Structure formats: structure tokens, C-alpha cells
Amino acid sequence: MKKVLVTGAGTGFGHEVAMRLAGKGFDVIAAVEIWAQVQTLKWQAAQRGVQLQVEKLDVTDEGDRRKALSWDVEILVNNAGVGEGGSTVDIPAGNIRHQFEVNLFGPLLLTQGIAKQMVKRGEGRIVWVSSREGLNVNPFTGLYSASKHAIEAIAESMADELREFGIEVATVNPGPFLTGFNDRMFQTWKGWEDEASERLFDYSRLAFPRAQFDPEPVYNTLTAVAAGEVDSYRNLEPASMIEETKSLIEAPWQRQVRDGLGTRPANLQASFDMEPETPVSV
């Protein structure tokens, strides 16, 4: 399998992984959301000395998804996504819908068509770029986390459903990495069409609540999973957060509904205390 479609390749993880897969000799279709990104990515690929087929593919656009069915994709990297920051009781309806349209509905509908083509060929690989937030939750990232929890359910079901047809399915679960994505998530409130006086929180005072890692481990892992060099179904980076992630999955079984009522949790307070774009200190 050599032909790879990477969605959301205009920035972040998708951008770098498309470049690296091309450098490995894969036939990479690098999909970007808007036309303005197409020529820019072509120039960037030329500067890196790699060949990319750059296509405009908005995963929420039915016409774009239909067009992708003509590309004979053998490996699909579902990387396109957006992050909506804010309290679950403040985020406006339109922003909630957009979060799920981009992160869940669009990628799933794209995958349905491509997966059936893979079944006809008798092989294929589907990589879902989920998140550590697909396994845990944090204040102010609940809607983003909900979309990634949904991806986890779909990917796990899909892995079972497609196994007999020879289709591989895997997830990659990045933690907090300093690509700009997490910090942009805490700026989306500026575009909300709501009554600001009714919000529970002053979002001008909040930031992404954790220090962030250098993204190199995700670039390496996502590239290797897409290339078929890693066999594990779930691939969480950084590896140093695996045990914390597992413990937080178990934590709700011990939680009591009246624990800490009337006080602010420490993980919520962290959003008030953290400065944007704070790197993990080595």
C-alpha cells in the first residue's frame, strides 16, 4: 500500500506527517481545507524536496468527499480537526455543531466511502488521529473531548467490523503538544455569537491549562503508524503520560457527586494560572 490521503495537511501534525511520508516514498495526497492553502503547501513541499499531490478537501463538504473517492486511497489518515474551547454550558449551538461536523461527521462520512473501496481491494489502513482527550476530560475542552471520545468509539467498532476484510484500523492519541492548536482553542470565544454577559467565565483570563511538549514524538509515531511500521492499535504520545491517562480513566469510579462542591477544582484553576504557549521544561 503506497497511496496515502492525509486530511488537515495544511498545518500541524498533518502537515509534517504528509512531508515525512512523502520522504519515505509514499504517494501522498495532502488535503487542505481551503483553496488558499493549496499553493502554499506546494511551495513548502518543493522547499523540503518532496512530491505531494495537494488537494482541497473540506471534510464537511459532500462534493469534496465525493471527489476523494476518485483518488484510489489505500491508506487514510483522518487528521483534520478543530478545537472549540470553553465551558460546556457556555459554548453556542453553532460552535457545538461545527465541532462535531469537522471532527466526527465529516471524517466518518469520508471514511465510509473509502473503506468500502478498500474492502473491494482486500486491503487498506485507516488511521484516526484522536487525542488523549478522547480518553480523558478536562475543564474548558469538554466539547473537543466529546468529539474525540466519539472517534474512539467509532474507531474501535470499525476495527472489529473491517477485520475480516483485511482492513487495518489504528488510533494515534496526542497529548498536549505545542503546535499552536491548543492555544487557538482558547481563542475561539472571540467569534461566539452569544450574550457575553450571560457567560459563566471570562475567557479573556483563561489559557490552555497544561505545559506543552515538543511535537516531534507525534510526528514520528503518526508517520510510523501510517506507514505500517507500528502494529499497536492505540498509540498515545508522549509515552510519559500513559500511566496518568490510564489512572484518570479509572478515577470516575471513585468520584462522589458531592466531592468539592462549592470549590474550584485545581485542574480548572490551572487555566487561570497558565500562560499561553508554555512549553514543558526539560
203 is catalytic: no
pLDDT tens digit string along 115-127? Answer: 999 999 999 999 9
pLDDT at 282 (0 to 100): 62
Q: What is the DSSP string of 201-270?
A: S-GGG---SS-BB-SHHHHHHHHHHHTT----SEEEESGGGHHHHHHHHHGGGT--TTTTTTS--HHHHH
Q: Which residues of the chain have pLDDT under 70?
A: 282
Helix (H, G, I), strand (E, B) or coil at 277: coil
pLDDT tens digit string along 1-16? Answer: 899 999 999 999 999 9
pTM for the structure as a whole? 0.96
pLDDT at 138 (0 to 100): 93
Tell me the residue ranges of DSSP E strands in the chain: 3-6, 27-32, 53-56, 75-78, 124-129, 167-174, 234-237
**Strand 75-78 and strand 124-129: pairing?**
parallel
pLDDT at 281 (0 to 100): 84
pLDDT at 19 (0 to 100): 98
pLDDT at 136 (0 to 100): 96
Count H helices, E strands: the chain? 10, 7
User: Among residues 144, 203, 219, 233, which one is catalytic?
Assistant: 144
Distance of CA 246 to the CA centre of its chain: 20
